[in-house]
Structure 1
Amino acid sequence: MTLDRRALLSGLAVSGMMASGARAQDDPFNLQGRPVQGGHLIGRTWPRALIFLDGEALTTASADGWFIVGFDRDAPLSHRITARSGSREQSIEVTLAQGQFPSHSISGLPPSTVAPQDPALLARIREQAAVKAEAYASRLDADYFREGFSAPLETMRVTSAWGSQRILNGTPAQPHYGVDLGAPTGAPITAPAAGLVTLAESDFHYEGGLIFIDHGQGLITAYLHQSRVEVSVGQTVYRGQLIGRVGARGRATGPHLCWRMKWRDRNLDPSLLLRV
């Protein structure tokens, strides 16, 4: 199935906006987003207020008071969001919808990308993991996420949904924390929202050409398997700007873009930020 941007909006981002039945009637934050496992909520409170999720201080609202919180694939269904600024405090209880995550099998992957054994390769993988961890630790003081996201490809087909249980070459693996979008090699990848490039590598073992973009407060998107990387670390990019080209490098059986998102070590579904 081939989709353009409009079809992706109606097909992937299927969860509705924050439903009245999923939150307290009195919402001090005017929350918007996708209250589902793998989803997120965007709200507004006092400028620079400290934001707590389930009692843990995780982020600080922007200078204009905007903040985002995210919920992992297997997050509990009940949460409490609190904003605190000096002696002032606001809270809300939020109930998430249960996520639906099918199983997905992939065969024909090179064995070295499923169960690598070579010591030199394992050392390279560890080095690359450290680079990725450092890039994921970025905490840009910005709120670019508040404007929502566009699709990173003009035309594509969904080949694997976010959160699916992976079976690689017949072996169960961890869930797939990306949305796979099939497209021709060389198809342009554009930034779905403004942000700071925190990683830009052309040849990582699992990911091939790989880019990370921090959209503010640790909300980071990743773009995998690229044939060409068109940006560099430290560069600020804007919605619609060319960042790379679709490829099939790394752990891939054909040309596609694996689009991922994290918020402070929580894996999120990036497609759910479309239309927000």
Structure 2
Amino acid sequence: MHRRALFALPALLLARASAATTLPGLSQGGFVIAHVPPGSRAALDGRALRVAPDGAIVFGFGRDAAPNARLVVTGPDGRAETMPLAVARRRWDVQAINGLPPAQVTPDAGALRRILAERERLAAARAVDTDGSGFAAGLAWPAHGRISGIYGSQRVLNGQPRQPHFGLDIAAPTGTPVHAALPGRVSLVGNFIFFGRVLVLDHGHGVNTLYAHLSAQSVTEGQMVAQGQPIGAIGATGRVTGPHCHFCLSWFGTWLDPQPVLPAVQG
């Protein structure tokens, strides 16, 4: 069973406006799919949300999201209702590693220029907002293997905090097939310094998935893919210590935790 948060808002909007509502998925790193009356408008903390013809909306909360959010739904009759959302805090694994050579902590100028260009390209792919409905299919495991890294963990290298780990690492031998976790369109195919051979798929409404450190990519930008379709193979490209698929889920520029919304058993 998929463990995404899925709820119908009209009933929830009857809750007292003074009390924040706590629901499954409303946590740091959480991914939420909800339904409003078709023809409504919706906004999360002032940001307009795309509303599907059936009333589906989707949003998420980052690793360090504030504890409170506010969802406003304006029905087809023009009446607006506000629902406070309580975003549960989570505790993250933070490790300090000291005594590393400086070159392993701070990239040289040439590498830094390339890293910045790659970040811009990735940001552009993740900013795409289409009316696709692939996000509603229910996340499937992209590969089979041992979980070697989890969302939200962070390392402090020589006293310098590094970017938190924003994905789920699935370790398996090089060449192990990687499949599309949701149906969608290939929005990026690249070979990056950190991510190595990387793919990004757009699933509509700002939802996208990323697959990194691949040994092979078997799709092209703009191609439509079905859920479960082979898109590449696990590898050890980029900055890694062993073969694995670094798998990410995000809502626009916000990285989300894919593990709570994946099936409990790899299938």
| TM-score class normalised by the smaller sequence | 0.7 to 0.9
Q: Is 1:210 the equivalent of 2:201?
A: no
Q: Give 2:207's aligned residue.
A: 219
Which runs of 5 or more residues in structure 2 are unaligned?
Answer: 15-21
Q: Is 1:194 the equivalent of 2:183?
A: yes
Query: Once the two structures are superposed, what CA deviation does each residue of 1:219-258 show, in whole Å capped at 9, x if it has no partner?
Result: 1111111111111111111110001110111110100111
Cα separation, partners in 2 of 1:110 and 1:205, compared to 1, 3 Å = farther
- TM-score, normalised relative to structure 2: 0.84
Q: Is 1:59 the equivalent of 2:49?
A: yes
Which of 103, 107, 110 is the equivalent residue of 1:120?
110
Which of 134, 139, 150 is the equivalent residue of 1:161?
150
1:130 shift after superposition: 2.0
Which of 77, 80, 92 is the equivalent residue of 1:89?
80
Query: Once the two structures are superposed, what CA deviation does each residue of 1:41-66 show, in whole Å capped at 9, x if it has no partner?
Result: 11111335332112x12321112211
8 Å CA contact 2:44, 2:72 repeated in 1: yes
State the AA in 1 paired with 2:218. E
Q: Give 1:3's aligned residue.
A: none
1:149 shift after superposition: 0.5
8 Å CA contact 1:109, 1:253 repeated in 2: no
State the AA in 2 paired with 1:159. S
Q: Is 1:230 the equivalent of 2:221?
A: no
1:136 shift after superposition: 1.2
Cα separation, partners in 2 of 1:129 and 1:25, compared to 1, 3 Å = closer
Q: Give 1:144's aligned residue.
A: 134
Q: Give 2:41's aligned residue.
A: 50
Which runs of 5 or more residues in structure 1 are unaligned?
Answer: 1-5
1:92 shift after superposition: 2.2
8 Å CA contact 1:60, 1:67 repeated in 2: yes
SS of the aligned residue for 2:186 comes to strand
Q: Give 1:273's aligned residue.
A: 261
Which of 245, 251, 263 is the equivalent residue of 1:257?
245
SS of the aligned residue for 1:41 comes to strand
8 Å CA contact 2:10, 2:37 repeated in 1: no
Distance 1:257 1:131 in 2: 20
Q: Is 1:41 the equivalent of 2:26?
A: no
Cα separation, partners in 2 of 1:107 and 1:62, compared to 1, 3 Å = farther
1:84 shift after superposition: 2.1
8 Å CA contact 1:33, 1:42 repeated in 2: no
Number of residue-to-residue matches in the alignment: 256
SS of the aligned residue for 2:65 comes to coil
SS of the aligned residue for 1:34 comes to coil
1:199 shift after superposition: 0.3
Which of 125, 128, 135 is the equivalent residue of 1:135?
125
- TM-score, normalised relative to structure 1: 0.81
Distance 1:247 1:111 in 2: 26
SS of the aligned residue for 2:145 comes to strand
1:90 shift after superposition: 3.6
Say what the alpha-carbon RMSD is for the aligned residues. 3.1
Q: Give 1:99's aligned residue.
A: 90
SS of the aligned residue for 1:189 comes to strand
Cα separation, partners in 2 of 1:37 and 1:238, compared to 1, 3 Å = same
Which of 73, 78, 87 is the equivalent residue of 2:63?
73
Cα separation, partners in 2 of 1:143 and 1:113, compared to 1, 3 Å = farther
Distance 2:26 2:169 in 1: 22
Q: Give 2:17's aligned residue.
A: none
SS of the aligned residue for 1:221 comes to strand
